[in-house]
Structure 1
């Protein structure tokens, strides 16, 4: 087996790892590529690939590594069908990606707006438990280019699903985010890592994030915020409860304060991208 790096584009922050299987060699079952640039492998990402014939290419991007400039170390692990594993150290590749800034949209709604703050749904009102429908309303208004009010989303969730204020615990579960997005003709995708959140934001998608104890909410409660825009590892936050919190925050911080509440992680992770 031969492995090497090609197609290095320093400014784009990308390169390709190639794995070639020898014609008479052991049959490759799986390829795993580990890449990092920070000390202690702080921005380590794994790229898994199934071989495509005798020549397999794995694309690496700094988007998956906090978009940092630096010397990227690459290790390749090849799993064979005979249950053996072979490792390769491809050394370091220097990347200096341009700072790709995505400007945020800033439509803002407050769940505490007197127009709807006191409106009651089941066990609570918009003021106290309307963060998800309000975050969704901001997102839908941005993407669709037409006004979608928080109460319009709340009405849909309360009267058409079992996700919003239907139990003794106030709030909206993760299924409500998926259901409402679909109802407005949009797609949603659960995100489980910082790199996947960064990728979604760099592509212009909105991300709904459920957070625990943090700048945005006090323990033991959780809260939903909207992420949109990207600039050098940071994203712009809109907080439906407190507009004073609106601004740029690092993805490391937001991911570090992610909610672990069962309602928010019902589908696996508390982050969802929403897009047309």
Structure 2
């Protein structure tokens, strides 16, 4: 079914439920478009999340076009079968919302803390998540929170940071956010990222091989602000990368590392 239609934001949610005694769902594919000849067709894909799965469709993935969006859902079953559903048309009239970014910036390579050692590594080499969280917390709370303050909390109170291997897993993002009295939410798809950013939320994004990092490493970025399908990126390792980027591009370079996807996706919105 379709729910949560937000015409102005250009989004709606497709829901798929697993029948308790039915064939087991392996994968869900959603095709949506608004142009007569499917010129802005975009495919969404998701693996089931328990008995109920939600997929956000966003006009941002379809050229930000206003119109009636046709939605087809294809369910791939574990027995090899496929079933299709036509959910009809949904009217969207997305407006170009502009949310100005906040620009608090910390570098994990700052000599004040770059060499500080936690477990198997130091802030310079593996402190991108604590540094990104410090930027985000400082923005939202309006008071200075340093990368070392976040790193101290993560290392001393969780098993998520530099324990066994360098870096911070998704559980650490959730735990630190809760410790500072804020909320975090897993974000799926480019449309979900855009929706969070249009709502003024910060998004922490773990990315893989790209201009931001090289295999086999991954890297955390802070996303905030929205302007016509783009968002402002703050890179804690290289300030030269700071600037406006396409949300679709950022989603396309998402990390596939298990640490970053421990909770289902490598993107988290953070908000008060």
Q: Cα–Cα, structure 1 residues 211 and 92, in superposed 2: closer, same or farther, change >3 Å?
A: closer
Matched, 1:209 2:201: no
Would you say the 8 A contact 2:59–2:94 is kept in 1? no
Matched, 1:166 2:169: no
CA–CA distance in 2 between the matches of 1:101 and 1:86?
Answer: 37
Q: Cα–Cα, structure 1 residues 62 and 220, in superposed 2: closer, same or farther, change >3 Å?
A: closer
Would you say the 8 A contact 1:35–1:72 is kept in 2? no
Q: What's the CA shift for 1:217?
A: 0.4
**Given the alignment, which residue of 106, 109, 112 partners 1:112?**
109
CA–CA distance in 1 between the matches of 2:207 and 2:230?
Answer: 16
Matched, 1:135 2:113: no
The residue correspondences of 1:92-107 to structure 2 (distance < 5 A) are 96-107=93-104
The residue correspondences of 1:27-66 to structure 2 (distance < 5 A) are 35-37=32-34, 39=39, 41-42=41-42, 62=58, 65=61
Q: What's the CA shift for 1:44?
A: 5.9
Q: Cα–Cα, structure 1 residues 193 and 203, in superposed 2: closer, same or farther, change >3 Å?
A: same
Q: Cα–Cα, structure 1 residues 130 and 39, in superposed 2: closer, same or farther, change >3 Å?
A: same
CA–CA distance in 2 between the matches of 1:43 and 1:265?
Answer: 21
State the superposition RMSD in angstroms: 3.2
Q: Give 1 or 2 for the bigger CA radius of gyration.
A: 1
CA–CA distance in 1 between the matches of 2:62 and 2:174?
Answer: 27
Q: What's the CA shift for 1:13?
A: 4.6
TM-score (norm 1): 0.75
CA–CA distance in 2 between the matches of 1:166 and 1:129?
Answer: 11
Would you say the 8 A contact 1:164–1:171 is kept in 2? yes
SS of residue paired to 2:215? coil
Partner deviation per Cα, 1:118-164 (whole Å, 9 max, x = no partner)? 11111111100100000000000000000000000000000110000
Query: Any stretches of 5+ residues in structure 2 without a counterpart?
Result: 13-29, 47-55, 74-82
SS of residue paired to 1:136? helix
The residue correspondences of 1:109-258 to structure 2 (distance < 5 A) are 109-167=106-164, 169-258=165-254
Matched, 1:270 2:266: yes
Partner deviation per Cα, 1:33-88 (whole Å, 9 max, x = no partner)? 96423526226699xxxxxxxxxxxxx985564571244332478xxxxxxx9966
SS of residue paired to 1:182? helix
Q: Cα–Cα, structure 1 residues 149 and 245, in superposed 2: closer, same or farther, change >3 Å?
A: same
SS of residue paired to 1:273? strand
Number of equivalent positions: 234
Query: Any stretches of 5+ residues in structure 1 without a counterpart?
Result: 1-6, 16-32, 47-59, 78-84
Q: What's the CA shift for 1:101?
A: 0.8
Matched, 1:72 2:88: no
CA–CA distance in 1 between the matches of 2:103 and 2:152?
Answer: 23
